[in-house]
Structure 1
Amino acid sequence: MSRVLLVTTNYWPEPTGIAVYTTDLAELLQKDGFEVSVLTSLPHYPWWKIPSEFAHLTEGVSRHESVELIRAKHLIPPKMNALVRIRFESSLWWNLRRVSKRLVGNDFDAVIACIPTVAAGVVGKSIAKKLGVPFWLIVQDLSGAGAKQSGLKGGALISKIALAVEGSVLKAADSMVVVSPAMRDVVLGFGVASTKVSQITNYAARNIENVNRDLARAGLGWASEDFVVIHTGNMGAKQGLENVVEAAKALGADAKVKVYLVGHGNQEANLKTLCEGIENISVVAAVADDQYSALLAAADLLLVNERSTQMEMSLPSKLTSYLYSERPVIAAVPRGGATWKFLDGIAELVEAGDPKALAKKILELKADPKRCAELADKGSLFAAKNLSPEVGRAKYLEWVGKLIVSK
C-alpha cells in the first residue's frame, strides 16, 4: 500500500475555499487504497479565528474519515496587512515544520503540497527532500500574484517575498496540478517545464441538490416576493465586496431587490458597518454544508464579485456549486481575467469596480425572467459537462497513480 503525505493549511472542517478540495482529495485517495496522512493547521478560515465548535481540534494527531490528521497550532490574526501576513506565513512555516519533526514518519512514498499558502509549499518540499521521495504540488492559487492584486496594504512587499519563495517551490516540484489556464501560464512563467504541469479544473466537490425555492426561502425567513441576489464564501480583500454595497445603494429601496452577503472573512466587520442603514443588503453568517443547497436555491441570482486587479488569481471555488444549482449567475469581475474567461457565455458579465453597472444589470435581469432561465440552463449544462465530480476525481486518481507507478 502506497503512503502519501498531504501538506495543506486548509482542511476539514473549514467549509469554503481550498479546504473543500484538499479534504475531498485525501478522502478520495484513502478510499482508493492509499494510506493518507495530512499535515495541516488549526481550522481558521474564513473566520480568522477558531470557532468554539472546533476548539477541540488542537495540535496533535487525530483521524477523520479514516485519514490521519496531524495538526499544528499557529498564529491566527484577526486582521491582515503586510507585516501581519508575513508573521502569519512565518508562524505556519515554523509550526508545521516543528510538528512534522515530531509526528511525521519516514515511510511515505510521496509528498503532495497544496498552495497558495507559501508555508505549505516550503514545508512539503523540505519533508520530501529529507525523506528522499517525490514532491508534487497542487497550485490552487499563488500568494505572490494574489498579494499584488488584492489591494492589501503593503501588498507589493508581500508579493516580492512570496514570488521569490514560490518560485523555488514550483521549480522543486516533480509534478504539479494547476486549476485554470491562467494559472498554468503564470506557473510556466516561473520557468517550470510544461511537461510537469497538468490542468485539472476544480469540480463540484459539494453535492448540490435541487431544493424548492419557496421552501428554501421559508427556512431562511426571507420574503418570497423579493428578487434575491446572493454572494457566498470568503469576505476578504480580493472579493472587493464594497462594490456590492455601493451597488445595493444604487438599486434603490423600492426595487424589491434584496442582496445577501453570506459567509465570513477578514472584511466581515467592515462590511457590516458599511451595510448599516441600507435596507436592501445584509451580511449573513455562513450556513452548514447540509444547508448550502437550500441557500443557493433561495436565490434568484448568484453573484461573484472581484476587485478590478484580480487578473491572474485562481477561479473562485464557489463557481462549481453556483453552476450546479440551476440558478443564473452574474459576475462583476475584471474583463479578460481568469473568472471572466471561465464564465464568458454562461453567466452575465459586468466590469469589476462599477457598482452602477452592476445595479443596472441586476435590475435588467429582474425584469427578464426568460434571460435568467436561459443563464440557469447554460450554467447547469456547462457544469454537467465540465465540472462533474466523477470526472474531476478520476483525473486526480490518474495523476497520483501515474506518478506512484513511475516513482
Structure 2
Amino acid sequence: MKILIVTQYFFPENFKSNDLAFELQKRGHEVTVLTGIPNYPEGKIFEGYGIFKSRSQVMKGVKVKRAFLIPRGNGGGVRLLINYYSFALFASIKAFFMGLNKKYDAIIVHEPSPIMQYYPAYLLNKIWKTPVYFWVMDLWPESLAVAGGISNKFVLSYFTRVVVKFYTNAEKILITSKGFRESINNKGNFNEKIVYFPNWAEDSISEGNKDFPLPELPIGFKVMFAGNIGEAQDLDSIMQAALQLRSDKNIKFVIVGDGRKMSFVKSFIAENDLSETVFLLGRYPVEAMSSFFEKADVMLVTLKNDPIFNLTVPAKLQAYMSASKPIIGMLNGEGAANILEANCGFTVSAGDYDSLAKTIIKISKLSEDVLEELGNSSRLYYERNFRLSNCISNLELILQQNQQNL
C-alpha cells in the first residue's frame, strides 16, 4: 500500500511514529511521512535541520517531507499554540501539493498531541477522499484542560467541535487505551469506528543495548522512574514518598529523564536533604534505557488522579514490561488494571504517597526469586499484548480490511 503518515513529530525526535513508519516500510509498503522540523523537547531546531536544510529526506526507505513550523521554544502556552498551528497550516499547504503528485491508499495521523495535526489529513480526505486512520494517543480537549490548565469554556467548546469534526471525518479511530472509548463516544456515536491499537515498547528497549555506558548508579534497592518529568506524572507525590523513606538509606530513587517539573524536583531534594536517596540522572537516548532498566530493582510508573489520566495507559508501562522488570504503579484506571492483570507488581491509588512508601518497603524486602518471577510476568504480558511486530500486523489487517470494503 501507499501510506502517508501525518505527524508533527518524527525522527530524530523520539516518538512511536518512527517505529510505525520504518516497520511498515520494512514490510513492503511505500511509506511517506509528512512531519515538522524537529525541535522537541528542547524547543530549538535540531542541528542539521532548518528552514532550507534537510526538508526532504529518505530514511530507511521512508520518504520524509518536513513542513515549516515555529519552534515550541520554552513550551509556554502562547508559544505552544503558535507551534501547533504553524505546523497545521504549513503541513496542510505541503499536503495539498503532495496530493497533486501522488495518490495514497491510506493516511495515518499519529496524534500524541496536538489535535491540530489532523488538518493536513482532513484536507487530503476532502479533496481526494483518501481514508484517514486517526491514531488517538491523547484525548482532546480533556488534555488541554488538565495538562494545559485551560478552563475557558469557549476555548474548550471550540476544540470539542474540532475534535468531533475530525472523529466524524476519520475512517477508523485507533485508541491506545480501551478507556478512551467512553470519552470518544460521549462526543458522538463513533463506536463502530473505534479500534483498540495499543502502544508498544521500542525494540531498542525490549531488545536493546544493555552495555550502554552509564553514569555511576547508587548502591542499594533502586526504584527507577524513567521518562517525562511533567505535571501528569505527579512528581509531587513521588517526592513525598521519598521524604517518608529518607531515613531508609537502602532505598534509592533513581530518576532518568527531564521535563517541566525538574526544577521543582531539584528544589525539593535540596530543601529536604534527599541527596543521599534521590538521584537525578537527566535525559538519555532511548538506546540507553535497556542499560538503565537492567540496573533497576523495580520500576515506578505514576499518573495524577484525574479522569483523563485514569483512562490512559502510560507508554512507559510497556517499556518497563518489555525489560522484564517488576513494577510499582501509583495510578488509577487502565494502567493499574494492566499491572494487576499481568501480575507483575503492585499498585496504589493515584496520589497516595503514604501507600507508595509502604509498598516500596514491602517490595524491597522480597527475595530475588520473587522479584524475578514478577519481572518474568511483566515480559510475558508484554509478549502477548505489546510487541511491535504484533501491533503492526494488526494494523495491516485493519488497513487491508478497510481497503477491501472501499
TM-score category (smaller protein): 0.7 to 0.9
Aligned to 2:279: 282
* 156 and 314 in structure 1: CA distance in 2 versus 1, 3 angstrom threshold: farther
- The one-character-per-residue Cα deviations of 1:22-53 (angstroms, maximum 9, x if unpaired) are 22221222222221111112323344444547
Matched, 1:120 2:117: yes
| Structure 2 unmatched ranges of 5 or more | none
Contact 2:303 2:309 in 1 (8 A): no
Aligned to 1:355: 353
| Structure 1 unmatched ranges of 5 or more | none
Task: Determine which structure has greater relative contact order: mean sequence separation of CA pairs < 8 Å that are 6+ residues apart, divided by chain length.
Answer: 1
Aligned runs of 1:133-144 on 2, under 5 Å? 133-144=130-141
Matched, 1:37 2:35: no
CA apart distance, 1:81: 5.4
Aligned to 1:387: 386
Aligned to 1:235: 229
CA distance in 2, matches of 1:252, 1:235: 21
1:373 partner SS: helix
Which TM-score applies when normalising by structure 1?
Answer: 0.87
2:141 partner SS: helix
1:143 partner SS: coil
Aligned to 2:6: 7
What is the identity, as a one-letter code, of the residue corresponding to 1:191?
A: G
Aligned to 1:266: 260
What is the identity, as a one-letter code, of the residue corresponding to 1:76?
A: P
CA apart distance, 1:311: 3.5
CA apart distance, 1:149: 3.1
2:63 partner SS: strand
2:179 partner SS: helix
* 385 and 135 in structure 1: CA distance in 2 versus 1, 3 angstrom threshold: closer
Contact 1:58 1:71 in 2 (8 A): no
CA apart distance, 1:80: 4.4
CA distance in 2, matches of 1:382, 1:65: 30
Aligned runs of 1:101-180 on 2, under 5 Å? 101-103=96-98, 105-115=101-111, 116-150=113-147, 152-155=148-151, 159-180=156-177
What is the identity, as a one-letter code, of the residue corresponding to 2:337?
A: K
What is the identity, as a one-letter code, of the residue corresponding to 2:13?
A: E
Superposition RMSD on alpha carbons, in Å? 2.7
What is the identity, as a one-letter code, of the residue corresponding to 1:327?
A: K
CA distance in 1, matches of 2:288, 2:47: 20
CA distance in 1, matches of 2:252, 2:279: 8
Aligned runs of 1:8-407 on 2, under 5 Å? 8-15=7-14, 19-20=15-16, 22-52=17-47, 58=53, 60-80=55-75, 82-103=77-98, 105-115=101-111, 116-150=113-147, 152-155=148-151, 159-207=156-204, 208-209=206-207, 219-223=214-218, 225-276=219-270, 277-279=273-275, 280-309=277-306, 310-334=308-332, 337-345=333-341, 346=343, 347-369=345-367, 371-407=370-406
1:255 partner SS: coil
State which drifts further: 272-281 or 313-322: 272-281
* 319 and 156 in structure 1: CA distance in 2 versus 1, 3 angstrom threshold: farther
Contact 2:199 2:315 in 1 (8 A): yes
Contact 1:81 1:153 in 2 (8 A): no
Count of residue pairs brought into register by the alignment: 395
CA distance in 1, matches of 2:351, 2:385: 29
CA apart distance, 1:252: 0.8
User: Identity, % of aligned pairs?
Assistant: 21
CA apart distance, 1:159: 4.0
What is the identity, as a one-letter code, of the residue corresponding to 2:36?
A: S
CA distance in 2, matches of 1:57, 1:181: 42
CA distance in 2, matches of 1:92, 1:211: 34
CA distance in 2, matches of 1:206, 1:364: 32
* 312 and 148 in structure 1: CA distance in 2 versus 1, 3 angstrom threshold: farther
